[in-house]
Amino acid sequence: MEYDTKGKVLKKAVNWQELYFYRKSDTLYQLTVEFCHRFLPPYGDRTVDQMIQAARSGKQNIVEGSEDGKTSSEMEIKLLNVARGSLHELRSDFQDYLNTHHLSLWLTDSQRQKRLREFCHSHNDYSDYVPLLAKMNDEEMANMAITLCHQTDKMMSSYIERLERLFVEQGGIKERMFAARTNYRRDQDTYIHNLEVENQQLKLENQQLKLENQQLKSENHQLKLENHQLKLENQQLKS
């Protein structure tokens, strides 16, 4: 992503639907809904609402941040960090589920965790996960969700660092508006200066033409006098 600094105030729009971390966050949301419906009681447990809301907040703040980012880099960074916070909360809820149900959080160097990590890394959309989820128990689904939370957070963290670098280098909307106004005024000053130079040049050329015209009139007058003199001489010769 780059800013268009040639007179443009708004940043180039980002298609958030194509962002890998958004697609993973949407997968997390749908996976969380499926997990809660299958393994948590439908009524009387606030955890269900909390987990679904955290998952939804994660993906929705990515959308809002990307949209607001057209005019405010500061708001975009803020909302993306809110999204990260929501996904941290979601990851903690899945970890708590494993702990309270005496299930295993798969170790990083275990073979099943490596296979799961590789699958999640190369698949972003929920449709890729649907065939697997029907065969998974709660421990497997929780570990998949935790893995997706880690990967999505890492991708978002890198993206936010890039936004921060661009903000430092190119500023926000106020700086871009100032640059646009400054460039416009500079262009106008240059245009006016060029007109003034051209006008002065035209004045000089006009003055030169006047002098040349005066010279031609003088020469024409001289020719008339000579012609008159020739006529007089011709008359004298005839007489």
pLDDT of 122 strictly over 80: yes
Q: Which two tokens stand for residue 156?
A: 């978002």
Give the mean model confidence (pLDDT) for residues 204-227: 83
| The predicted structure's pLDDT at residue 159 | 95
Q: Identify which has the larger pLDDT, 192 or 181.
A: 192
pLDDT of 7 strictly over 80: no
pLDDT of 149 strictly over 50: yes
| The predicted structure's pLDDT at residue 77 | 93
Instruction: Compute the radius of gyration of the chain from its Cα atoms.
Output: 39
The DSSP secondary-structure symbol of 13 reads P
Nearest C-alpha neighbor of 148 from the set 82, 58, 38: 58
The confidence band for 3, taking pLDDT boundaries of 50, 70 and 90, is very low
Q: Identify which has the larger pLDDT, 236 or 140.
A: 140
Q: Please tell me whether the overall predicted TM-score, pTM, comes out greater than 0.75 for this model.
A: no
44 sits in which H/E element: none
The DSSP secondary-structure symbol of 123 reads -
| The predicted structure's pLDDT at residue 5 | 44
The confidence band for 2, taking pLDDT boundaries of 50, 70 and 90, is very low
CB atoms within 10 A of CB 131: 8
Alpha-carbon distance values, 66 to 60, 70, 99, 165, 226 (Å): 10, 7, 35, 16, 89
**Angle of helix 111-122 relative to helix 138-170, nearest 10 degrees?**
50
Nearest C-alpha neighbor of 11 from the set 175, 164, 173, 159: 173
Q: Which two tokens stand for residue 233?
A: 């001489």
The DSSP secondary-structure symbol of 11 reads P
| The predicted structure's pLDDT at residue 30 | 98
Q: What is the pLDDT of residues 47-97, one digit of tens each?
A: 999 999 999 999 999 999 988 887 888 899 999 999 999 999 999 999 999
Burial of 58 (0-12, 13-18, 19+ CB in 10 A): buried
Q: What is the mean pLDDT of the chain?
A: 86
